[in-house]
Structure 1
Amino acid sequence: MAGYDDRDGLIWMDGKLVEWRSANVHILTHALHYASAVFEGERCYNGKIFKSTEHSQRLLYSGELLDMPIPYTVEEINAAKDLTLKANGLTDAYVRALAYRGAGDEMGVAASANPVKLAIAVWTWGAYYGDAKFKGAKLDISKWKRPSPETIPSAAKASGLYMICTMSKHAAMAKGCSDAMMFDYRGYVAEATGANIFFVKNGEVHTPKADAFLNGITRQTVIGMLRDMQIVVHERHIMPEELEGFEQCWLTGTAAEVTPVGSIGPYNFEVGELTRRVSTEYEKLVRL
């Protein structure tokens, strides 16, 4: 497939559908220099974006947290996403909404006078971790930690928060891994580079408390599914030494969906019955 800058299709940019190769910004766009951008990753199944409204709401909230008010309503964002999918003739696709501070009168750290822009692109995208959906992903353990909420708004899906994720994933891939698990600033288990994490022990599920990383929409969905199944879910701080005692593990995220984990560093997990059941039930739910 061609590079992401060289494809056929249309991208929605501030109310206009723009030819894919012409969907550009100026080199002095503030977001390019200072990471003043927030985004959403969403999936469309059978012509319907799963939890589209929740994603649009979170996009606006992320903008608020970064002092970057996005000049669109939830309804307008939802409509723009649907229009972009139809314009590209896609019914099963990944949807990327990106709000960013553009070029304007200011080009320093402060740029409140610069306009906030919104773009939406859609494309076909298969399993994020390839065949790991069946045999379990292999994860490295990152040397980078999720930062304290006192240093940056961890509840925002902000572009700048992902730089250590990029470095962590590059290091993991160099070791033959699919991804990396990260600890938080206190040393607790946090998440993978772009997905939340769950563990199973004695038929109960344990997942890190989302107080220093993004509380993913897929994470919340899966917790709800588990409780509907009468499975006990513990949202709590998890210490590194507990990894050895867990039997199963999986990742959740819009891109990852529900992906089993086979290993994290020296710790191994089975792709067990509960992991397979959650993955299957999630696949059914998103296609309702």
Structure 2
Amino acid sequence: MAGYGDRDGKIWMDGEMVEWRDAKVHVLSHALHYASSVFEGERCYDGKIFLSRKHSERLHKSGEMMDMPIPYSVDEIEAAKQAVLDANNLTNAYVRVIAWRGAGEDMGVASSRNPVRMAVTAWEWGSYYGDAKYKGAKLDIAKWKRPSPETIPTAAKAAGLYMICTMSKHTAEAKGCSDAMFLDYRGYVAEATGANIFFVKDGEVHTPIPDAILNGLTRQTVIQMLKDKGITVHERHIMPEELADFEQCWLTGSAAEVTPVGQIGDYMFEVGALTRDISESYDKLVRA
């Protein structure tokens, strides 16, 4: 497959459908220099985007937190996503919606006079972690830590929050791992570079409180699924040394879906019955 900048297809950009290769931004776009950008990653299954409206609503909230109001309503974003799927004849796809401060009168830290722009793209994308989806991903432990919500709006899905994710994933891949797990600024287990994390012990599930990480929509969905199955879920602070006592582990995210984890650093986990059940149940739910 060609690189992402050189493909056939259509991209919705600022209210118009443009050719894929013509979807360009100016080099002095504020987002390129100061990371003034928010986005959503979504999956479309059999013609329907899972939790589509919730994603669009979160994009709006992220924009508000970044002092960057999105110039399109939730209904308009929903229509744009469907238009992109239709224009590209896609029924099973990954959908990326991004809003950013463009080029304008300001070219410094301040950018209130620059327009907020938005684009919607979609493409076919298989399992985010490849065959790890079935046999269990191997994770490194990142040297970087998730920051305090007093330093940056950690509840926003903002591009700047992913800088340490890119660096950590590169390091992990160089070690033969699929991804990396972060601790937060206090030393608690946080998340992977683009997914939330769950653990199993004695038939009960433990997952970090989202007080310094994004409370993922897939995370919320999986927690409700577990509760509906009568499984106890503990949302709490988890110390890294507790990993030695957990039996199973999985990641959740719109891209990751539900992906089993077989190893984090020196800690090993089985791809057990509960992990497989949740993964299969999630696959059924998103296609229901």
- Answer yes or no: same fold by TM over 0.5: yes
Secondary structure of the corresponding residue to residue 81 of structure 2: helix
- 1:193-213 per-residue CA deviation (whole Å, 9 max, x = no partner) reads 000000000000000000001
Which residue is 1:221 aligned to? 221
Which residue is 1:106 aligned to? 106
| 2:277 equivalent to 1:277 | yes
Which residue is 1:251 aligned to? 251
Deviation at 1:19, TM superposition (A): 0.2
The residue type paired with residue 132 of structure 2 is A
Structure 2 distance, partners of 1:54, 1:63, is 14
Matches within 5 A, 1:109-148: 109-148=109-148
| 2:88 equivalent to 1:73 | no
Matches within 5 A, 1:231-242: 231-242=231-242
Structure 2 distance, partners of 1:134, 1:102, is 41
Deviation at 1:180, TM superposition (A): 0.2
Q: How many aligned residue pairs are there?
A: 288
Which residue is 2:6 aligned to? 6
Structure 2 distance, partners of 1:27, 1:18, is 19
Deviation at 1:139, TM superposition (A): 0.2
Structure 2 distance, partners of 1:272, 1:215, is 25
The residue type paired with residue 159 of structure 2 is S
Structure 2 unaligned regions, length at least 5? none
Secondary structure of the corresponding residue to residue 96 of structure 1: strand
Secondary structure of the corresponding residue to residue 255 of structure 1: coil
Secondary structure of the corresponding residue to residue 83 of structure 1: helix
Secondary structure of the corresponding residue to residue 121 of structure 2: strand
Structure 2 distance, partners of 1:77, 1:69, is 13
Which residue is 1:158 aligned to? 158
Deviation at 1:134, TM superposition (A): 1.1
Which residue is 2:209 aligned to? 209
Secondary structure of the corresponding residue to residue 39 of structure 1: strand
The residue type paired with residue 251 of structure 1 is L
Secondary structure of the corresponding residue to residue 150 of structure 1: coil
Deviation at 1:280, TM superposition (A): 0.3
Structure 1 distance, partners of 2:71, 2:21, is 25
Secondary structure of the corresponding residue to residue 100 of structure 1: strand
**Taking structure 2 as the reference length, what is the TM-score of the superposition?**
1.00
Structure 2 distance, partners of 1:12, 1:203, is 46
The residue type paired with residue 29 of structure 2 is T
Structure 2 distance, partners of 1:134, 1:66, is 37
Structure 2 distance, partners of 1:134, 1:22, is 38
Deviation at 1:160, TM superposition (A): 0.2
Identical aligned residues as a percent: 75
The residue type paired with residue 274 of structure 1 is L
**Taking structure 1 as the reference length, what is the TM-score of the superposition?**
1.00
Secondary structure of the corresponding residue to residue 6 of structure 2: coil
- 1:96-134 per-residue CA deviation (whole Å, 9 max, x = no partner) reads 000000000010000101000010000000000000011
Which residue is 1:49 aligned to? 49
Deviation at 1:49, TM superposition (A): 0.3
Which residue is 1:183 aligned to? 183
Runs of 4 or more off by more than 6 Å in structure 1?
A: none
